[in-house]
């Protein structure tokens, strides 16, 4: 019974190189920064655009490359944290009622 190929960041990078491309070159080819490709391979949270570029280039569905990030329909499973803490409105002092 054939088993599904296990992809990790090293396998993905090696396959891109086997196909004659660098991470930076892959980003340039698709019009995104090469650093986005590198970062998405190193982080647990996805950079969706970079993940899609890698998936398109390798012709492997997102859920096969990152089963912990995407479902079989390509929807993200990992919730991204906000980049900033929400800004809280300052507390207003309640003026003492004049009696």
pLDDT, position 92: 60
28-79 pLDDT, tens digit per residue, is: 999 999 888 999 998 866 788 999 999 999 999 999 998 888 888 888 886 6
pLDDT, position 46: 74
- Could you tell me the fold of the domain covering 9-65? 434 Repressor (Amino-terminal Domain) (1.10.260)
Separation between Cα atoms, residue 4 and residue 1, nearest integer Å: 10
Residues paired with 70 in a beta bridge: 76
Nearest residue to 12 via CA among 48, 64, 47: 64
Domain positions in the chain are 9-65
Helices of type H across 5-76? 9-18, 23-30, 34-42, 48-58, 62-65
């Amino acid at each position: 019974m054939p088993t599904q190929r296990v992809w990790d960041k090293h396998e993905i990078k090696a396959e891109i190189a086997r196909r004659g491309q660098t991470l930076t070159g892959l980003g340039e080819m698709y019009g995104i920064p090469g650093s986005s490709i590198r970062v998405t391979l190193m982080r647990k949270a996805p950079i969706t655009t970079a993940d899609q570029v890698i998936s398109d280039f390798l012709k492997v569905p997102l859920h096969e490359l990152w089963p912990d990030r995407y479902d079989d329909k390509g929807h993200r499973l990992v919730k991204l944290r906000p980049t900033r803490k929400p800004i809280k409105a300052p507390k207003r002092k309640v003026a003492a009622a004049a009696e």
